[in-house]
Every structure is written in structure tokens, then in C-alpha cells.
Amino acid sequence: MVPKDYVLHEHMNFLSIKIFIFILILLNFIHKANTGCNNSTITSFIPPYQILSSLQTLSLDGYLSLKNNDNTAKDFGNIYHFPPLAVLHPKTVSDISQTIKHIYETGSSSVLKVAARGHGHSLQGQSQVHGGLVINMESLEGPEMKVYSGEFPYVDVSGGELWINILHGTLEHGLAPKSWTDYLHLTVGGTLSNAGISGQAFRHGPQINNIFQLQVVTGKGEVVTCSENKNAELFHGVLGGLGQFGIITRATISLEPAPKMVKWIRVLYSKFSLFSKDQEYLISLENTFDYIEGFVIINRNNILNNWSSSFSPKYPIQASQFNSDGRILYCLEMAKYFNPDEAEVMNQSVDQLLSRLSYILPTLFLSEVPYVEFLDRVHVSEKKLRAKGLWEVPHPWLNLLVQKSEIHDFAEEVFGKILNKDTNNGPILIYPVNQTRWNSKTSLVTPEEDVFYLVAFLSSAVPSSTGSNSLEYILTQNQRILDFCKHAKLKVKQYLPHYTTQEEWKTHFGSSWEAFVERKTTYDPLALLAPGHRIFQKSMSTR
């Protein structure tokens, strides 16, 4: 039961919105009259407040919030801040379906856009909608998480469920998803709308490659169940589709037997050529590590001392004598999963793999941790940053997919020249994946070569700073990287892409653009969904 004072405040807030928009319409009408426009030339439209008013007549299990929605006017990127007119807090899929269908049936005259919001970890305002409707996916209830064992185990979950909860829920059955993101406090619908990439992607592909079935609410308000064999066009379109064709309300995710422990290893390289060669070698093997990532270390002193709190050096004396000498270093990070009774065999396998690599011998550091601790490792850093007030700062991240044949030119220019010695704004991830493990039918676009690298510049800006850790400086640096790729004609693709014009989006999708537009026309013809990506600005029927 909603309190009466809450209803009164909502009503008063709604009235203020109506008055404000009425004034805007009146001023617009006066302007058109003064400039000689007659009524026949004015395109009719339904003001957002009228649609919101009619939405309030719907019989919903959840509710619409018209005030105190400041938290939905920001995201993890903390760069763009777009306040919505209202937020839907659905309890059921029917709430989402009814709401979108109602807006859709107002026709192309509607100007109310809709953005689904999970845990709010978008970077460039993609989960926001200025003057529109945000759907809070984390309030979605419905059938509880269901885990099925058998020859092809899977878990059936809500699109608003967090991956960390899925991990704990499936582990109770001795199972776990195959592919992860580095950070688990994200919603299923959010990561599947992009791809979901981590150090397991070289083997299992991204998360979107490990989905059996989806339930989706389209831009028409239709609730559709889809899979490889049923409504396959929508299934493939939604996976990696940036929320353009529908809202993922439920997903069936492939599982595998879960290990209990992880052998976690880090080694350093001073030459990028050896670093990349070893990475590519490891992902080419059938019997290799279960997780392979890497990162670039620029201007980091005492890196081995920092590791020693969580890792143990294989060669303590040599490690204590290691000096980086101000060099750019490259860290190869690997993990081998195992159960306690498999420790001896696991260690033999690890030693054999390491013996074939060309890392700097004194920099071999190892650790054994529980499986959950390894997968949820980033959350530990989050808690430390939150305690220091350094979590909710601008995050001008740049994520690129660079093909193998161009990665050395990229590294020489970007790591050696564009990123100077003062660069110390956050991790720089770099690791290769196998194209053959990725489903080309999905909406995600990647470089065409069989092996390509994810290069992620995960920068954090310091508010009010004017130095190299300022937002402006980092954004300029990101643009320099993009400009280099363009001028050098590198076939780079953005991951978690952000563009400001449709021409840039056409270039991004390349030969897939027409199929992308066709899917939009079919499933969201009024372009109601996910306006924060700025791909489609108007109804497809009038394009």
C-alpha cells in the first residue's frame, strides 16, 4: 500500500510537470504564429505529460515514480546527467509490457522515450533518458532463480538479476556460468545487451554466446520468448543489440561444473612482442589456463611489493632485487581452476605451461584463492574506493577491439607515445580472444580477424582537477587514441560503443548496418527504446 502523503506529493509533482510543459507548448505555438507558420504545417504530437497521465490509469503491480528520481539521472560513467520525467518500478513483466505497449499505441506522435536501467553501470548516459521514462529493472520480481542439472545444465533468471547472485545461487548446486565479466555486480540484461567479456572469453566466448533462451519485451510491448530455434532473428538481435530491439526480462544461461579453488598467477614482461606472443600462444592451446588476461603498467613503482600482500613470489630473493627502471611493463594474468583433490595434477600442468613462456623470471607471483573470491575480486577494490570517496567519480572509459595484425602498431604508438609517463589514471587491460568462439549472428560487431585484442582504458578522473587526472585531460587523451586509429586506418571497433552521429554508427556496424536497421524497423519501429545510445533519433517509419 502506497502512503497517502506519497500519493499527494506525487500528484502535486505531476501537476507542476503539466503546467511546465503547457507553458512550453504555448510559447512554441506563439513562436510559430509570429513566424508565419499555419496550423497545417505544425506536426501534431502528444506531450509527454499526457502520456504519463494516461499511464497512471494502467493497472500495474509496480508503480510510477514522478519525483525523487535523481539517482536515475546519472550512471557509473558520471559524465552525463539526464533527468527523466518518471521512473517505472515494475514488479512483473506485464508491467513493462503494458507500459511500452501503451506508449507505442499512441503512435509516431509520441515523444516519450524509454530506457531500461539495471545497476546503472553505463558509461555515456545509455541507461538515462532526458524527459522520458526509465524502467528500473532491479525492481522486477517474478519466478525465482531456477537451476537445472543434467547433461546441459542451465539457470533461468530475471533480466534484472545481478551476476553475483547468480554465482552464489548456482554454486549451491555445484554449478556456475561459463563466461563472466570482471565485475559481477551488473544485471543480466545489461551485460547481454553488450556482450559480457572477461578472461574466459577466449575459450567460451562472451556471455552472449552462452545463452539458451531469452524472454524479451519489444518496442511494441510484445512479450516474446526467443532462442536459436524460435524467433531467432530477435534472439540474435537482442544479444549485443545495445537495447535497441527489446528489453531482456528473463534469460536461460548455460552452466558447467564449478571448481572450488583457483591458482592465480601474475608475471611481467618488458617487451610487448614477447608478452603478446605468449598470450596468443596460450589461447591457441586446448589444454591451457581457464582465464587469461593482461594489463599495461605505466609509471607504477614497487608493483611487486604491492602484489606481495595477496601473492607470493616464486623466487623471493630475485623478486626483491627486481627494478622496473621506469620501463613500461606488461603483466600476464592467468588462472587455473581446480578442486583440492586435483592440486598435484593442477600444479604439474601450471608448471608445464609456465615453462614455455618468456616472462621475467623473478616476477612470477602465485596465489591460491576460493573460486568466489577470484571471480568477485573487483568488488574488493570497489569497497576500498568507496571508503575513500573515489568510486562515484567520472569514469571516461575507452574500450577497443584491435585485430592481431595491428596490435603491435597500436601498442607502439599508444603505450609508447600517447600515454606518457604521467599516465596513472586506472588499469589498462589488454588480452586476446578467439573469433571462432564468438557467434557472428548476434548484433555485436568485432574485427574480422580470427584473433583480436580487447584493450580497455579504465580511467578515473579526479573531480575539480586540472592536471593529468582531470576529466578533460583523459577525454582528450582518449580522442588522441581514436584519432590515431582513424588516421592509421586501423580496423578498430569500439566495445561498449559511444558515438554522437548516425554516420559514425553506420561506420561502426559496417556491413551489418542494414540488418541492424531492419531489426529496429521490425521490433521497435517508433524508436522508443534505448535513446541514450543516440543511434536512432526518430521513428523508423519516417527515416
Q: What is the DSSP letter of 210?
A: S
Distance (Å, whole) CA 489 – CA 343: 48
For residues 269 and 221, is the Cβ–Cβ distance under 8 A?
Answer: no
Give the integer Cα–Cα distance in Å for 13 and 80. Answer: 24
Which one of 121, 204, 498, 533 is the catalytic residue?
Answer: 121
**In three state form, how does the secondary structure of 319-386 look?**
HHCCCCCCCCEEEEEEEEEECHHHHHHHHHHHHHHHCCCCCCHHHCEEEEEEHHHHHCHHHHHHHHHH
In total, the chain counts a number of residues equal to 543
Question: How many whole angstroms separate alpha carbon 238 and alpha carbon 443?
Answer: 7
Quote the CA–CA distance of 124 and 39 in Å, as a whole number.
38
Q: Give the pairing type, strands 146-148 and 154-158.
A: antiparallel
Q: In Å, how far from its chain's centre is CA 411?
A: 24
| φ and ψ of 453, to 5 deg | -110, 140
Q: How far apart are CA 536 and CA 302, in angstroms?
A: 48
Q: Report the distance separating Cα 249 and Cα 234, nearest Å.
A: 14
Task: Round to whole Å and give the CA distance between 290 and 282.
Answer: 10
Q: Catalytic residue at 290?
A: no
Which one from 10, 278, 293, 524 is the annotated catalytic residue?
293
> Looking at 138, 141, 156, 182, which residue is catalytic?
182
Give the count of beta carbons closer than 10 Å to the beta carbon of residue 470: 17
100, 221 Cβ separation under 8 angstroms? yes
Supply the residues annotated as catalytic. Answer: 121, 182, 293
